[in-house]
Amino acid sequence: MASLHRPGQNHLLAVLSEVEFERLAAHLELVPLRLGEMLYDPGKQLQYAYFPTTAIVSLHYVLESGATAESAGVGNEGVVGIALFMGGGTTASSAVVQTAGHAYRLAGSLLQAEFGRAGLMQRVLLRYTQALMAQISQAAVCNRHHSVEQQLCRWLLLTLDRAPLRELVMTQELVASMLGVRREGITAAAGNLQRAGLIRYRRGHISVLERPGLESRACECYGVVAKELGRLLPDERRR
């Protein structure tokens, strides 16, 4: 399995210098992430950081009523567990696997030690944190001011940017919980996109047929997030 995966599939690990990467390489553990797996719970001390390669992890909040909403997603562009190097150690949100796949797991103490060297790893992680904050802020604005269809388009496009395939294993219930809206709203929005020939939905699978069409129906929030990520973390893959 290791021959099919490599750390360089994660953009943050890919841009490290050879010296920094070699310090971490022996400690990076390739782990499978199952759909729905909880990587950490609110308020609990984080033990590991996860650098996704093919998996996508959702950062979301669960209210006392049981209602949920995603604040951000993390795929091969980032890392799960920023509280480890930002100093908090815990977080108020949950991290749940949204799309099954793989990630490289690293002990939190090792990430903290490398961050403390104040080298390229520190600069890359801080830039990624800024990009993540932009994503969280934009999601809050989008959920407040834009239609469910626009939110769905934004969410699909961001997921596609992180996923290796154009077909997503995703139920309408899961999408609704991520966006914090009623399932009926997702059903109506997905129906509109399907009738327009942009997606095909069947038995928990969403296939994107025409990405430019999704982009034309999405609000400006997708473009803002994608542009900020590209500005802060240019694709300089070396490995």
As to burial, measured by CB atoms within 10 angstroms (0-12 exposed, 13-18 middle, 19+ buried), residue 64 is: exposed
CA distance 89 to 17: 26
Task: Please give the average per-residue pLDDT across 32-42, as a whole number.
Answer: 92
Please report the pLDDT score of residue 239 as a whole number: 44
pLDDT in tens, 113-140: 999 999 999 999 999 999 999 999 998 8
Residue 57 has pLDDT above 50, yes or no: yes
pLDDT in tens, 133-164: 999 999 888 888 999 999 999 999 999 888 86
pLDDT in tens, 89-106: 888 889 999 889 999 999
Query: CATH classification of 2-142+227-232, choosing from 1.10.1740.10, 3.30.930.10, 2.60.120.10, 3.90.920.10?
Result: 2.60.120.10
Helices (H) and strands (E) in the chain, counts: 10, 10
CB within 8 Å of 31: residues ≥ 6 apart: 50, 102, 103, 104, 105
The two tokens of residue 200 are: 């095909």
Collapsing DSSP to helix, strand or coil, 162 comes out as helix
Residue 43 one-letter amino acid: G
Query: CATH classification of 147-218, choosing from 2.40.440.10, 3.40.50.2300, 3.40.50.300, 1.10.10.10?
Result: 1.10.10.10
Task: Give the count of beta carbons closer than 10 Å to the beta carbon of residue 237.
Answer: 12
Backbone angles phi and psi of 96, in degrees to 5: -125, 140
Q: pTM (2 decimals)?
A: 0.90
Cβ–Cβ under 8 Å, residues 115 and 128? no
Q: Where are the domains of the chain?
A: 2-142+227-232, 147-218
Task: Please give the average per-residue pLDDT across 8-22, as a whole number.
Answer: 94
Q: For the chain, what's the residue count? A: 239
CA distance 224 to 208: 21
